[in-house]
Each structure stands twice: as structure tokens, then as C-alpha cells.
């Protein structure tokens, strides 16, 4: 389980009940300028605190619905582009078509993962099947990487063995359609992924967005050929491969962080804020959260005054309620109470 704090996770937090609840909302640091715009465009945040879904089954249903709709849109776009490839011989369009088809296929394992995530926990899998979603995200990363290799190989082959490109007008039209179809799918997947907290669905949306911009690159390649530069088509194919590889870094980081139980710090801040405003809590010693698929699991150790056990239990229940009210993605949150601050968990000395 990931740790709530980097360096001061065991520090005592005294609650401050005069905080403004609005000040602890969705508080990402956004980098300005072109770099910040591109980062948000291709590496968007996973969750959207203002519009999250607090029901696990409904969240999974929304994810499956997004995959169904986007799958058919991408398949239609791919078929149209492949037809144009057959009578145009455009390697850049072929590379883009292969990538679009791979993007459509990534919806299948993610669909399966969302369906698995809805199953109840068992004795063998007591935490449920939410991790299948992270494995599907890893599969998406592998597919994107392979599509970049295929596109590069096709482009290099066409540079060594050039072939004439025909029907450039159709190539341009197919590229524009590819951009529009992929961008529509990207917006839809990222929006739903943010709402339900699914890093894998957001990654799949970024994948579709990458396809959209590579489709525009196909258009520029065809325009270059029309202007009398035949190598523009395979060169654009190589540029597509490089762009896919570079943009893949952000997706790898997001999926890898989930598999390592990494958590966005502002989510921990909001959980702490919810506990601080629970009457009866004297301090917060530790808060931990982790993603299991698109749902949050966590626990906390709180400090309370000396009080009878029958008063501690309702306090713990209220603390759990407050956390779930502030973080709609939370499925399980355990709270432990102590009357005294406990020493930090130190590693055992070597034997």
C-alpha cells in the first residue's frame, strides 16, 4: 500500500476546523504556456474531483459504455482508411491505419477488465478484481509501442524502396476523417476516465488522441507529395513513430504509478481535510490511499481523547463517512483510533 506522505507521513496533524472546505478542492498545479498545454493535452489528470462517480457499479458501467461507443467509431474510421490505403499506396496512411486498428483493439481487454472489476471479492481475491484494469492499461502500453515499431518499419522500407502514391485527394480526406474520429473518441474516453478515476481509460483516450494527430501528419505528408516531394510520405511515417514513442512516456508513467500503488497527493490532502473536520478527532497520524482499478482503498490512524469505547465506534463511523463524502471514488476506508500518538513504523534491524 502506498504511503500518504513522502517525508512526514508520521507527523502529528492537529485538526484545524476553521479551514475553508472549498480550499481543499481539486487543486492540481498546472504549468502554463505551450509546455503546460501539451502536457495536459497528452498526459491529462486521471480523476476529476468535481464530477466523480461514487457508485462502483455505475462507474464500471460508464466505462464499458464509453468503450462500446468508441470501439465502433474507431472501427468505422479504420475501415474507411484501409479502403483508401488499398488504392493509394500511402505508407503514412497505412501506418496511421495500423495504429487506429490497434487503438480499437485495446478497448477489448479494457472492456474485459471493467467487467471483471464488477465481480465480488472471493477468498482467493479478497481485494476484488480491480487490478485487472491496471493490467489492461499495461497491455495498452505494449500495443502502442508495437504499433510505433510497425509504423517505423513500414516507413523505412518505403524510403529504401519508394513507391508512387495515388489518389492523394482521398488520402487527405481519410486523414481528416481519422483525426476527427480519433479526437471525438479521445475526448469521450478521457472525460469518462477522469470521472470514474480510471487511469487505463484515460491512457486509452490519450492513445486515441495520438492517433488523431498522426492522422493530421498523414495529411501533411500527402500535401508534401503534391508539392513535389515524394519522400514526404515515408518521412511523415517515421515522424509518427517517433511521436508515438515520445508521447508513450507519459502513459507509461501513469500506468506504472498505479501498479506501484502511487497516489495523487491532492487526494491524500482531501482525505486528511475530511478527517480534520470530523468532531472528536484530536490529530491525524497517518493516512494512506491506493487505487484498485478505478476505485480507492485506504486507511487512517487518528488520535482521539480518552473516551469510552462506545463513543469511539461512532466517531470512527463518522470519520469514514466524511472521507467517502469528500472522495467519491472511495470503496473501502478503514479508520483506527489511538489515544496516544504511536511511534513510527521502523524497519526491523538485520539479524
1-40+264-351: which CATH architecture? Answer: 2-Layer Sandwich (3.30)
Question: Cα–Cα distances in Å, from 303 out to 6, 16, 242, 245?
Answer: 21, 14, 53, 48
Burial of 14 (0-12, 13-18, 19+ CB in 10 A): exposed
Q: What is the pLDDT of residue 292?
A: 85
pLDDT of 272 higher than 90: yes
List the one residue out of 193, 215, 217 whose CA is nearest residue 205.
193
State which fold the 46-259 domain adopts. Answer: Alpha-lytic protease prodomain-like (1.20.1510)
Question: Which three cell numbers, joined as nine digits, stand for 221?
Answer: 505528408
Cα 322 to chain centroid, rounded: 26
Task: Provide φ and ψ at 296, rounded to 5°.
Answer: -100, 135
CA 115 – CA 45 distance, rounded (Å): 23
Mean pLDDT taken over the chain: 76
Per-residue pLDDT tens digits for 175-224: 888 888 888 988 998 998 888 888 788 878 887 887 777 777 778 878 88
* pLDDT at residue 289 greater than cutoff 90: yes
Q: What is the pTM of this model?
A: 0.64
pLDDT in the model for residue 3: 40
CA dist 245 and 242 (Å) reads: 5
Q: What is the pLDDT of residues 132-154, one digit of tens each?
A: 888 888 887 887 788 778 778 87
Q: What value, to the nearest 5°, has the Cα angle with vertex 10 and ends 45 and 300?
A: 65
Whether residue 8 is predicted with pLDDT greater than 50 in this model: the reply is: no
Query: In the chain, what percentage of residues exceed pLDDT 70?
Result: 77
- 214 to each of 3, 69, 89, 208, how far by Cα in Å? 39, 22, 17, 10
pLDDT confidence bin for 242, thresholds 50/70/90: confident
CA atoms of 317 and 110, how far apart (whole Å): 35
Question: Is the pLDDT reported for residue 279 higher than 60?
Answer: yes
What's the pLDDT tens digit per position in 33-68?
Answer: 544 444 444 455 454 443 455 456 677 788 888 888
Q: Which residue in 224, 248, 253, 244 sits closest to 153, CA to CA?
A: 244
Provide the pLDDT confidence category of residue 320 given band limits of 50, 70 and 90: very high
Q: CATH 1.20.1510.10 occupies which residues in the chain?
A: 46-259
Domain with CATH 3.30.70.1350 in the chain: 1-40+264-351
Grid cell of 112 as nine digits? 474485459
Q: Is the pLDDT of residue 269 over 90?
A: yes
Contact 197, 291 (CB under 8 A): yes
Residues 130 and 118: their CA atoms lie apart, in Å, by 8
Distance CA 201, CA 182 (A): 14
What pLDDT digit, counting tens, does each position of 73-103 carry? 888 888 887 887 777 766 767 766 776 787 6
Amino acid at each position: 500500500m502506498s504511503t500518504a506522505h513522502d517525508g512526514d507521513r508520521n507527523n502529528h496533524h492537529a485538526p484545524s476546523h476553521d479551514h475553508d472546505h472549498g480550499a481543499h478542492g481539486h487543486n492540481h498545479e498546472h504549468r502554463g504556456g505551450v509546455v503546460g498545454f501539451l502536457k495536459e493535452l497528452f498526459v491529462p489528470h486521471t480523476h476529476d474531483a468535481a464530477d466523480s462517480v461514487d457508485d462502483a457499479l455505475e462507474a464500471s458501467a460508464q466505462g464499458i459504455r464509453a468503450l462500446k461507443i468508441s470501439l465502433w467509431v474507431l472501427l468505422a474510421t479504420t475501415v474507411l482508411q484501409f479502403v483508401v490505403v488499398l488504392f493509394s499506396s500511402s505508407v503514412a496512411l497505412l501506418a496511421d491505419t495500423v495504429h487506429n486498428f490497434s487503438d480499437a483493439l485495446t478497448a477489448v481487454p479494457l472492456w474485459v477488465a471493467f467487467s471483471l472489476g464488477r465481480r465480488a471479492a472471493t477468498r482467493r481475491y479478497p481485494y476484488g478484481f480491480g487490478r485487472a484494469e491496471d493490467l489492461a492499461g499495461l497491455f495498452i502500453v505494449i500495443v502502442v509501442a508495437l504499433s510505433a515499431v510497425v509504423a517505423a518499419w513500414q516507413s523505412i522500407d518505403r524510403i529504401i524502396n519508394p513507391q508512387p502514391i495515388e489518389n492523394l485527394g482521398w488520402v487527405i480526406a481519410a486523414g481528416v476523417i481519422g483525426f476527427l474520429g480519433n479526437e471525438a473518441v479521445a475526448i469521450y474516453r478521457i472525460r469518462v476516465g477522469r470521472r470514474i478515476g480510471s487511469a487505463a481509460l484515460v491512457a486509452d483516450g490519450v492513445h486515441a488522441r495520438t492517433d488523431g494527430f498522426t492522422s493530421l501528419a498523414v495529411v501533411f505528408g500527402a500535401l508534401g507529395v503534391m508539392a513535389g516531394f515524394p519522400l514526404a510520405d515515408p518521412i511523415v511515417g517515421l515522424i509518427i513513430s517517433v511521436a508515438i514513442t515520445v508521447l508513450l512516456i507519459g502513459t507509461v508513467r501513469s500506468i506504472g504509478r498505479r501498479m506501484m500503488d502511487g497516489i495523487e497527493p491532492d487526494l491524500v490532502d482531501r482525505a486528511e481535510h475530511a478527517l480534520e473536520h470530523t468532531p472528536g478527532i484530536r490529530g491525524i497520524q497517518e493516512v494512506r490511499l491506493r487505487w484498485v482499478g478505478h476505485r480507492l482503498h485506504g486507511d487512517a490512524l487518528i488520535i482521539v481523547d480518552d473516551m469510552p469505547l462506545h463513543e469511539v465506534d461512532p466517531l470512527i463511523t463518522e470519520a469514514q463517512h466524511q472521507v467517502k463524502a469528500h472522495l467519491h471514488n472511495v470503496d473501502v476506508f478503514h479508520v483506527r483510533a489511538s489515544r496516544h500518538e504511536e511511534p513510527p513504523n521502523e524497519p526491523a534491524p538485520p539479524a
